[in-house]
Amino acid sequence: MNTRILTILGMGTVLLAASVAMAAERTVTLAVDNMYCSACPYTVKQSLAKVTGVDEAVVSYEKKTATVPYDDEKTPVAARRAATAQAGYPSHAIDAAAAAR
């Protein structure tokens, strides 16, 4: 086997690993509206907990954000936004990468 084939195989492995990594767990930060008291983050957190694929959201009252781990193969970011909106807290993704989706 010559080195060119080995190089191509190596690149293929890297690309495969990259796509597997992309399907793995990610985190999105949502800017959450309407959090007016310190109990609100709890409601937001509960709404996110009902979304399939969300393990545990970290909701900050001070920053008005929800940081949400997610698996984009199971549920898209839009499902998170819909969940908080249904609970009365419209949200939008504020990471550049997630906002593009």
| Residues contributing to the site for Cu ion (CB under 5 A) | 37, 39-40
**Nearest distance from C-beta of residue 54 to Cu ion, angstroms:** 21
Nearer to Cu ion, 17 or 49 (CB): 49
The one-character DSSP state at 95 is: S
Q: Residue 97 and residue 93: Cα distance in Å, rounded? A: 9
Q: Residue 76 and residue 14: Cα distance in Å, rounded? A: 25
Nearer to Cu ion, 37 or 100 (CB): 37
Nearer to Cu ion, 18 or 39 (CB): 39
